[in-house]
Amino acid sequence: MSLKSNLHNLKEKYKGTKMAPAFNAIHTFLYLPNDTTHGGTHIKAADDLKRTMNIVIMALVPCLIFGIFNAGYQHFAAIDAAKGMVTEASLFGNFLTWDNFVVGSWTVLPLVIVSYGVGLLVEFIFAIIKGHEVEEGYLVTGMLVPLIVPVDIPLWMLSVAVVFGVVIGKEVFGGTGMNILNPALTIRAFLFFAYPTWMSGDKVWVHEAVARTGTPDAISGETLLGAYAQNSTLPNIDLMDMFFGYIPGSVGETSKLLIIFGALFLIFTKVGSWRIILSTLIGALSMGLIFNGVVDAGWIGESSKFYGLMSIDFWQHLFIGSILFGAVYMATDPVTASQTNKGKWIYGFLIGFISIMIRVFNPAYPEGVFLAILLMNVFAPTIDHYVVQGNVKQRQKRIKVKTA
Amino acid sequence: MAKDSKLILDPLADNNPITIQVLGICSALAITAQLKASIVMTISVLFVMGIGNVVMSLIRNIIPSKIRIIVQLTVVAALVIIVDQVLKAFSYQLSKELGAFIGLIITNCIIMGRFEAFALGNGPWRSFLDGIGNALGYGVILIIVGFFRELLGSGTLLGYQILGDPIAKTGLYSLGYENNGFMLLAPMALIVVGIIIWVQRANNPALIEEN
């Protein structure tokens, strides 16, 4: 007997008991269940929720692998930098090395395991309480969470945040498909407001930078964005480093190249909305252009604390920070984004626009992508409402013109 | 007599002013970052509502109904000033911590709500019980929220460091535990109140409205 029929027999055996949803979950997770449809609908499409989720995960895996190597690479580069050596990143020379992989896996994989373990546990508990199938919604969230936190976040904090994010962000609203806020970003927002010392500053972005603070082996863990926000810059980082992702940052968001590949993959498979991705980038660029204009007009001098981030070329905003990652993987979440096509343009544009605004003006924390997306998540239904009402009005007018 | 005890017991659970009637939310958000402030607020509201309901009930037949709101305001204001002065005289530090919120008891929707809904139509004894009951129902939620917010947000209860010293790293803090700064922000008070409402409704499905 194959595993599939074994699981099916288990499912039959436990039918009607409290644990049934848990067995069903394992079954549906691995195979297409061999139930026949009972209701009126008899059309089945292959691109169900599980397929959609798996495609997003496939788009995320390159970012995760890059993040593992980058965690190790940044760790050793920062140690060398503290000794006064300058490290020039080269892909096969000093990036894809065994040492980087070991250090990176040691720090990043626990984040992945905790994120999935705790999150799926909460999902299973709720499935048993509610007595329905386990929802696949956490599969993507569980992958996103380790990619958007700093490498050295303590694991217990991550677990608390995951429980909070899944319960308050999703389950209270009725589970997958009913949530207002993106659960992964809810988790990040919780971490950020609850434990700000672990989520911002110039230490947390490189492995061991916090632990080594105050010792002779101290290393820097500053991100480029943090440096710009203080009107300085990081030496030795050129545009290509930013594009390929050899810079410190949250685990999986540094490599713009891989994110662009992921975006193309999502657009090609029609899982991610190209309207949202494109309009987010347009929004970010427009805000960047406005700030450039303000600097060119001479309204902001070099002494201003906003000068550093305002004066960089508008298109460079896409290469620093996590705006690309947010636009491709977070803003396109089909549940929390706007549903109408016109609404998607407005929704995306405002995300980009507000992200860069928060990035420049927030004195405490030089990145606002997650806040901007959460804010627009809340407004997405409103945008849809007005788009639909606008359409209704237009058509009513047309009727009037005809009858008149 | 059984009906009288219902006046006190109902607002504690099934007709709680905060979780069921959703009144007085503003102060539940504002002052519950510390347990002590929650308790003082509870006692103050208990005093104002108990006396206020009795006073309103005694004068309910002699005030013209057109000006009853302004009379109610005068009664609450007088009582709140008494509370404020007593706090200033005997516990100046605490009165400074609570700041404007003692004065803002006047605007607490529960008080005017109970005057209008109960004291104007019932005798003094029943009004007194109703006032006490509602103030206690309000206070219970305040104290629960204050307990969790102070314990998880500052690691203290009533100012005592029961989880250890966060600076000297003793107790739980030596294991790497850290205070949850989110608990001290107002949104978390709203979320805690929301969780209480959730638990209450899950335990008593009769409370869930049909839509």
**Tens digits of per-residue pLDDT, B120-157?**
888 888 889 888 888 898 888 989 999 999 888 888 88
Entry pTM: 0.86
| Structure tokens given for A345 | 């343009």
Chains A–B, number of C-beta pairs less than 8 Å apart? 22
Return the residue of B nearest to A190 by Cα.
B182
Return the residue of A nearest to B185 by Cα.
A193
Pick B181's closest partner by Cβ from A160, A168, A196: A196
The rounded distance, in Å, linking the Cα atoms of B36 and B33 is 9
Check CB contact under 8 Å for A156 and B185. Answer: no
Check CB contact under 8 Å for B176 and A168. Answer: no
Task: Return the sign of the alpha-carbon dihedral for residues A392, A182, A67, A325.
Answer: positive
Pick B181's closest partner by Cβ from A156, A172, A194: A194
Q: What is the pLDDT of residue A251?
A: 85
Q: Which long-range contacts (CB under 8 A, 24 or more apart) does A33-42 make?
A: A33/A8, A34/A8
Please tell me which of A33-47, A203-217, B163-177, B187-201 the model is most confident about, judged by mean pLDDT.
B187-201
B181 chain-A contacts, CB cut-off 8 A: 193-196
> Which candidate in B174, B177, B179, B182 is best for mutational testing of the A interface (most A CBs within 10 A)?
B182
Alpha helices by DSSP H, A237-340:
239-244, 256-268, 274-296, 307-311, 323-325
Structural domain spans, chain B: 2-145
Residues 153-182 of A with CB under 8 A from B: 154, 156-157, 160, 168, 172
Return the residue of B nearest to A168 by Cα.
B191
| Structure tokens given for A76 | 């050793």
Q: What is the pLDDT of residue A115?
A: 93
Mean pLDDT of chain A, nearest integer: 83
Mean pLDDT of chain B, nearest integer: 84
- Per the CB < 8 A criterion, the answer to whether A190 and A161 are in contact is yes
Q: What is the pLDDT of residue A375?
A: 92
Check CB contact under 8 Å for A168 and B191. Answer: yes
Closest-CA distance, B181 to chain A, in angstroms, reads 4
Check CB contact under 8 Å for A194 and B183. Answer: yes
- % of chain A beyond a pLDDT of 90: 26
DSSP A327: I
Give chain B's largest Cα–Cα span.
66
- Per the CB < 8 A criterion, the answer to whether A99 and A131 are in contact is no
Pick A190's closest partner by Cβ from B176, B177, B182: B182
- Per the CB < 8 A criterion, the answer to whether B7 and B129 are in contact is yes
| Structure tokens given for A103 | 């250090």
| Structure tokens given for B11 | 């607002």
Check CB contact under 8 Å for A195 and B180. Answer: yes
Torsion of the alpha carbons at B100, B102, B108 and B112, rounded to the nearest 10 = -130
- % of chain A beyond a pLDDT of 70: 88
Closest-CA distance, B18 to chain A, in angstroms, reads 19
As a residue count, chain A comes to 404
- Per the CB < 8 A criterion, the answer to whether A149 and A158 are in contact is yes
The rounded distance, in Å, linking the Cα atoms of A305 and B118 is 58
Check CB contact under 8 Å for B198 and A172. Answer: yes
Whether A389 has a pLDDT exceeding 90, the answer reads: yes
Whether B1 has a pLDDT exceeding 60, the answer reads: no
B176 part of contact set with chain A, CB < 8 Å: yes
Whether B71 has a pLDDT exceeding 80, the answer reads: yes
Closest-CA distance, A244 to chain B, in angstroms, reads 35
Check CB contact under 8 Å for A195 and B194. Answer: no
When pLDDT is cut at 50, 70 and 90, the band that residue A132 belongs to is confident
Q: Which runs of E-coded beta strand occur in chain B? A: 156-157, 160-161
| Structure tokens given for B133 | 């009951």
A153 chain-B contacts, CB cut-off 8 A: none
In this structure, which amino acid lies at residue B83?
A: V
A196 part of contact set with chain B, CB < 8 Å: yes
Return left, alpha or beta for A350; rule: phi > 0 is left, psi -120 to 50 is alpha, else beta: alpha
Q: How far apart are the first and last CA of chain A?
A: 73
B182 part of contact set with chain A, CB < 8 Å: yes
Q: Which residues pair with B156 in a beta bridge?
A: B161
A165 chain-B contacts, CB cut-off 8 A: none
When pLDDT is cut at 50, 70 and 90, the band that residue A117 belongs to is very high
pLDDT tens digits, one per residue of A202-254 = 777 887 777 777 677 677 767 777 777 776 666 667 777 888 888 888 888 88
- % of chain B beyond a pLDDT of 90: 7
- Tracing tokens 């970010």 back to the chain, one arrives at A284
- Per the CB < 8 A criterion, the answer to whether B29 and B145 are in contact is no
**Residue in A340, A342, A333 with CA at minimum distance from that of residue A180:** A333
Residue B124 to residues A276, B50, B74, Cα–Cα distance (Å): 63, 10, 18
pLDDT tens digits, one per residue of A175-206 = 788 888 999 999 999 998 888 888 877 777 88
B209 part of contact set with chain A, CB < 8 Å: no
Whether A54 has a pLDDT exceeding 60, the answer reads: yes
When pLDDT is cut at 50, 70 and 90, the band that residue B14 belongs to is confident
Q: Which of A12-16, A243-247, B81-85 has the lowest mean pLDDT?
A: A12-16
> Helix (H, G, I), strand (E, B), or coil: what is residue B160?
strand
As a whole number, mean pLDDT of residues A281-286 equals: 92
Structural domain spans, chain A: 49-267, 272-404
> Helix (H, G, I), strand (E, B), or coil: what is residue B161?
strand
Residue A25, φ and ψ in degrees, nearest 5: -60, -45
Closest-CA distance, A189 to chain B, in angstroms, reads 10
| Structure tokens given for B31 | 């002052």
**Residue in A221, A136, A153, A210 with CA at minimum distance from that of residue A187:** A153
Q: What is the pLDDT of residue A374?
A: 92
Pick B182's closest partner by Cβ from A154, A156, A194: A194
As a whole number, mean pLDDT of residues A89-118 equals: 85
A98 part of contact set with chain B, CB < 8 Å: no
Q: What is the pLDDT of residue A384?
A: 93
Return the residue of A nearest to B192 by Cα.
A168
B197 chain-A contacts, CB cut-off 8 A: none
The rounded distance, in Å, linking the Cα atoms of B143 and A326 is 40
In this structure, which amino acid lies at residue B84?
A: D
Q: What is the pLDDT of residue A378?
A: 92
A193 part of contact set with chain B, CB < 8 Å: yes
Q: What is the pLDDT of residue A36?
A: 65
Return the residue of A nearest to B181 by Cα.
A194
| Structure tokens given for A258 | 């891989």
